[in-house]
Amino acid sequence: MIQLIKMAYRDLGRNRRRSFLSSLALGVGLALLLLMAAFVNGEMNSTLDNTIRLQSGHLQIRAQTYDETKSSLKWVDLVENPEPLIEQIASLPQVKAATPRLYASGIVSAMNKSSGVRVFGIDPLSPANAPYSEGIVNGEYLSADDRQGVLIGQPLAEKLELSTGDQVMLSVNTSNGDVDEQLFTIRGIYSTQTYGFDSSTIFLPLGKAQAITQTENHASAIFVLLQERDQTDEVVAAMQTSKYEILTWTEMNELILQTEELSNAYMSLLYLIVLGITATVIVNTLVMAVYERTREIGILSAIGMKSGRIMALFLAESTLLAIGGILIGLVLGSLVVGYLSKYGFYIGNMGITGLLMENRIYTDPTLEDTLSLSLIALVITLIAGLYPAILATRLEPVDALRAGQ
């Protein structure tokens, strides 16, 4: 076996430029796939993390009849007097934060411009709302006793040409089905770097949100953040209740999880296509080597080298080319992925509101993707190398010697 490897290495060294370019082609293809896999993984994880921390939480406790799509404000569809339940939930060691939230739909108007918005009534002091308080880009954050202030997203402020201190008219639905309008002052402008969320979400202190929607001591849901995502089932088991419905992050984010599965399926197909194309370069290199070494193959056959050993020789050459290409791909891929995992790639506003995508994508490489893609590249290259190997074994010694003259 060692002798075959030495012979294969010597044969590849006869035309070093061609051998290097063949490995380089495979390496560039592998680096591209590593980058694509890291991008997809990074974007899906980022989107899921953003959705959990900004919108869904790891858990939400709601009334059995609450319909999120309708943002119902009827008392029967809300959680009544949520504080005792929040204290019970917050006492669990796995819980990072638990806070009441009130959701309503409304319209913000300023001058001759208006925009539909989602109104979040929040407890400004809860650590669950840190993404909004830490994302203030202009002005100040809300206080719990503020009855005239509102917090709006930067894209919405730009759209309506608003700044801190400006006044806006907010129209919201109420619990009895009416519409209430009040004038609010913009206390601050926030940015979570997530256009889909920032462009359509405004915040009021929970007390004021309850007052304007006439929901009094009620909340749409209890928003719960955990220390770790995999603690969800454990916490749900400790919170079993027949009065309210408990929704987990997987149930609330089915669209993201399905999108991730679909993306992985398409990416797997793309992996095979790209690696298949790059493997043809190695096939071409080895086929050329077969015709260039026809006389040599004839001599080896004439002195007794069996066809299986000749096949093994060419497979050894394709293996060396594959290993060289994989090493090049890992180096190139690691450099590019490492850079983009730190600095990211700015995509700006893509107009996507269904998924909470950040304005900048960061790569998130995994050992599993690296190993699987490297293994797939090796296997595809070996399979592709079968054709020139079989072509070499089918040469008859006498014909091969004559052809080489």
The CA distances from residue 260 to 62, 216, 273, 317, in Å, are 27, 40, 20, 38
The residue whose two tokens read 């006439």 is 214
- The ranges assigned to domains in the chain are 2-51+256-403, 65-242
28: nearest Cα among 346, 335, 361: 335
Q: What is the pLDDT of residue 404?
A: 46
Residue 269 has pLDDT above 60, yes or no: yes
- For 64-82, write each residue's pLDDT tens digit: 888 877 778 898 999 999 9
CA atoms of 357 and 351, how far apart (whole Å): 10
CA atoms of 295 and 35, how far apart (whole Å): 43
**How confident is the model over 204-229, as a mean pLDDT?**
93
- For 132-148, write each residue's pLDDT tens digit: 999 999 999 999 999 99
| 247: its two tokens | 């929704």
Q: What is the pLDDT of residue 400?
A: 44
Q: What is the pLDDT of residue 306?
A: 67
**One-character DSSP codes across 330-399:** HHHHHHHHHHHHHH-EE-------SS--BSEE-----HHHHHHHHHHHHHHHHHHHHHHHHHHHTS-HHH
240 CB neighbour count, 10 Å cutoff: 7
344 CB neighbour count, 10 Å cutoff: 16
DSSP state of 128: G
- Higher-pLDDT residue of 310 and 96 is 96
- For 324-381, write each residue's pLDDT tens digit: 999 999 999 999 999 998 888 877 665 555 567 777 888 999 899 899 999 988 888 8
Confidence of residue 405 (pLDDT cuts 50, 70, 90): very low
The CA distances from residue 311 to 15, 16, 377, in Å, are 20, 21, 20
Mean of per-residue pLDDT scores for the chain: 85
- For 278-315, write each residue's pLDDT tens digit: 878 878 777 776 666 666 666 666 665 666 677 777 78
Q: What is the pLDDT of residue 239?
A: 81
Q: What is the pLDDT of residue 358?
A: 76
Q: What is the pLDDT of residue 348?
A: 67
- Higher-pLDDT residue of 174 and 400 is 174
The CA distances from residue 70 to 77, 220, 328, in Å, are 11, 11, 54
Q: What is the pLDDT of residue 23?
A: 86
- For 29-43, write each residue's pLDDT tens digit: 999 999 999 988 888
Residue 206 has pLDDT above 50, yes or no: yes
Considering Cα of 316, then 318, then 320, then 322, what sign does the dihedral take?
negative
Q: What is the pLDDT of residue 58?
A: 94
